[in-house]
């Protein structure tokens, strides 16, 4: 590389860093908090205009607005899988974590409740929905994340994350994020890959932002998930535990939530939703350069959930 090319590369690197400079909100006990600043990734501004992706995002917005609150409070299979991923991730966390598909911060709150509050100092909350991100600080505060810091990042697993290299101790994806990494765009908004090739690129990017020896942890449905079984298990759980108000709420709203979830099956048919087996997840993690640490399958989420934890090679000793 000659001097002119080196200067051009240096200028591009500086511009890349400037574009990814984000503000962290410190959560305190003050009654009136500072207004959090959202960070929208430059790539996301472009790729969300793609007709295929904009349709996917529109469906997700509707699902987030109606179905997600139900899932977080009245879907026993969903809550159980979330709690299991949190507990299994606990030994691998570290001070800096990235939550892909964070929603309103419910999974991070669960991490804090099961023991992460003594470990986690800084959180990158990443989601396509800024309205969900707006709920993150309040939920983290309620979970006891006092004096911790959080960055609210509107971005996705469909392009390069606006996060510096080798900065995160752990990247987490709870029934989202990686599961729907079905497209991959460059910074110009050009679609380069879809399907499993897009997932591979997303995992390469996660590998980039992890410290040597860092971890990635995810939960996802098994292949061909039965959404009816998830709804039935919720109903049976509340009935058998005498929680009749919750049972009534699920009966009244659960079928509408199930209807809003049909787009997930459509995205799967397009090859852009990854409901993979343990063997398939293990294969794609290994291609990127991860070592599988632990996994489980068929124990949660109506016996059709997968939990995977993998480690970036190059452990610091």
SS3 290: strand
Query: What's the pLDDT at 70?
Result: 64
Domain 37-312 sits in CATH at 3.40.50.150
Confidence of residue 149 (pLDDT cuts 50, 70, 90): very high
Q: Token match 């995977």: residue?
A: 308
Return the H-helix or E-strand segment holding 308. strand 305-312
145 CB-contact burial (10 Å; exposed 0-12 / middle 13-18 / buried 19+): buried
Residue 105 above 80 pLDDT?
yes
* Three-state SS annotation for 214-276: EEEEEEEECCCCCHHHHHHHHHHHHHHCCCHHHHHHHHHHHHHHHHHCHHHHHHHHCCCCCCC
- Residues 73-82 have a mean pLDDT of 77
Question: Which percentage of the chain shows pLDDT scores above 70?
Answer: 88
209-255 pLDDT, tens digit per residue, is: 999 999 999 999 999 888 777 777 777 777 887 887 877 777 777 67
Question: Which percentage of the chain shows pLDDT scores above 90?
Answer: 48
Residue-by-residue DSSP string for 83-101: HHHHHHHGGG--SEEEEET
- Residues 24-47 have a mean pLDDT of 84
- Residues 49-73 have a mean pLDDT of 74
Query: Pick the residue with more confidence: 81 or 245?
Result: 81
Contact 72, 106 (CB under 8 A): yes
- From the list 25, 19, 33, 42, the residue with the least C-alpha distance to 154 is 42
Residue 25 forms beta bridges with which residues? 150
Confidence of residue 317 (pLDDT cuts 50, 70, 90): very low
Residue 15 above 70 pLDDT?
no
Q: Which of 10-24, 62-76, 157-171 has the highest mean pLDDT?
A: 157-171
Six token digits for residue 223: 């292949």
Confidence of residue 23 (pLDDT cuts 50, 70, 90): confident
Domain ranges in the chain are: 37-312
Q: Which of 6-10, 129-133, 233-237 has the lowest mean pLDDT?
A: 6-10
Residue 61 above 70 pLDDT?
yes
Confidence of residue 315 (pLDDT cuts 50, 70, 90): low
SS3 35: coil
- What pTM did the predictor assign? 0.87
Dist CA 190 CA 187 (whole Å) = 7
SS3 213: strand
Query: What's the pLDDT at 42?
Result: 84
Six token digits for residue 225: 């998930």
Residue 16 above 80 pLDDT?
no
Query: What's the pLDDT at 119?
Result: 94
173-203 pLDDT, tens digit per residue, is: 998 889 999 999 998 888 999 999 999 999 9
Query: What's the pLDDT at 260?
Result: 67
Query: What's the pLDDT at 316?
Result: 47
Return the H-helix or E-strand segment holding 280. helix 278-288
Query: What's the pLDDT at 252?
Result: 74
Residue 137 above 90 pLDDT?
yes
Average per-residue pLDDT for the chain = 85
Phi and psi dihedrals of 154, rounded to 5?
Answer: -85, 100
């Amino acid at each position: 590389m000659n001097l002119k090319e080196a200067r051009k590369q240096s200028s591009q690197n500086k511009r890349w860093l400037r574009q990814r400079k984000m503000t962290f909100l410190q959560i305190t006990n003050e009654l009136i908090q500072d207004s959090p600043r959202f960070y929208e990734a430059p790539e996301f501004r472009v790729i969300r205009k793609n007709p295929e992706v904009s349709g996917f995002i529109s469906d997700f917005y509707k699902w987030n607005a109606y179905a997600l609150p139900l899932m977080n409070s009245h879907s026993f299979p969903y809550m159980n899988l979330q709690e299991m991923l949190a507990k299994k991730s606990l030994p691998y966390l570290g001070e800096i974590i990235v939550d892909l598909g964070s929603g309103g911060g419910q999974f991070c709150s669960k991490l804090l409740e099961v023991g992460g509050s003594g470990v986690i100092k800084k959180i990158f909350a990443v989601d396509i929905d800024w309205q969900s991100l707006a709920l993150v600080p309040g939920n983290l505060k309620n979970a006891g994340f006092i004096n911790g810091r959080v960055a609210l990042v509107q971005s996705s697993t469909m392009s390069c994350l606006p996060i510096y290299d080798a900065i995160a101790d752990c990247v987490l994806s709870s029934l989202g994020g990686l599961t729907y990494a079905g497209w991959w765009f460059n910074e110009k908004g050009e679609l380069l890959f879809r399907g499993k090739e897009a997932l591979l690129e997303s995992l390469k990017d996660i590998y980039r932002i992890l410290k040597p020896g860092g971890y990635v942890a995810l939960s996802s449905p098994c292949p061909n998930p039965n959404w009816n079984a998830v709804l039935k298990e919720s109903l049976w759980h509340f009935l058998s535990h005498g929680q009749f108000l919750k049972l009534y709420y699920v009966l009244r709203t659960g079928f509408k939530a199930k209807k809003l979830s049909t787009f997930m099956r459509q995205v799967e048919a397009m090859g852009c939703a990854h409901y993979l087996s343990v063997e398939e997840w293990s294969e794609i993690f290994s291609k990127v350069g991860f070592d599988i640490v632990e996994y489980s399958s068929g124990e949660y989420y109506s016996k059709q959930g997968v939990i995977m934890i993998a480690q970036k090679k190059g452990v610091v000793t």
